[in-house]
Amino acid sequence: MKTPICSFDAKTGILCTKCETKLKSGHLKQAEIEAAIRLTRIAERNQDINKFTMVGAAEVDSDSVLILRGSDISILRANPTLMKEVKEEFQRQVWFIEAEATDRRFMENLFFPCKVQSINLIWLPDGSKLTKVVIESRCDSMVPFDLQQIQKIAQTLRNIELHIEFEKPK
């Protein structure tokens, strides 16, 4: 398993001087260290996770956001048991984001399993911009996630101000 910290540090939970220096200089966040340690615990029991690459992590309110390679996210989504194991290890809501995602792919990751119909940029008179995301109508009644939390994650990770709408039924 590849993480932003040394594999020895991830296994022991104690940072070496190199990783400690990265943390103090701001190249590492505390959330990344905690996520690396938790994922390494799971990787010891599960070979699929042992092949993952964690690029980064963030904490937004009480939720964890894991930034992984796209292929790793595909493996997680194809294996609900594995996804459940990750969420149980973190003991909170966990969001999975692709490391190299475009803004559109970033939105699709946040709204998974719902389909993003369209994304539009709206320029406001004060010069700021708002990103309008339209989600398929079937998700309106069964929204499996907190829309305000998605807005906070988009703002925190990508500095994107979101306006969320649901597709109008035909």
- Residue 140: which pLDDT band, with cuts at 50, 70 and 90? low
Query: Rounded to the nearest 10 degrees, how much is the dihedral formed by the CA atoms of 149, 155, 158, 162?
Result: 80
* Confidence at residue 170, expressed as pLDDT on a 0 to 100 scale: 64
Q: What is the mean pLDDT of residues 85-100?
A: 90
Strand ranges of the sheet holding 116-123, from the earlier edge strand across to the other edge? 116-123, 129-135, 162-166
* Confidence at residue 77, expressed as pLDDT on a 0 to 100 scale: 87
* Confidence at residue 151, expressed as pLDDT on a 0 to 100 scale: 92
**What does the alpha-carbon distance between residue 110 and residue 97 come to, in Å, rounded to a whole number?**
7
Tokens of 71: 């292929």
* Confidence at residue 119, expressed as pLDDT on a 0 to 100 scale: 93
* Confidence at residue 26, expressed as pLDDT on a 0 to 100 scale: 87
Cα–Cα distance list, 151 to 22, 63, 103 (Å)? 29, 13, 13
Q: Which domains does the chain have, with CATH numbers?
A: 1-100 (3.30.300), 101-170 (3.30.300.20)
Choose among 161, 166, 165, 164: nearest CA to 130.
161
**What does the alpha-carbon distance between residue 48 and residue 52 come to, in Å, rounded to a whole number?**
7
* Confidence at residue 142, expressed as pLDDT on a 0 to 100 scale: 58
Q: What is the mean pLDDT of residues 106-127?
A: 89
Q: Three-state SS for 129?
A: strand
**What does the alpha-carbon distance between residue 16 and residue 8 come to, in Å, rounded to a whole number?**
9
* Confidence at residue 143, expressed as pLDDT on a 0 to 100 scale: 56
Whether the per-residue pLDDT at 133 is higher than 90: the answer is: yes
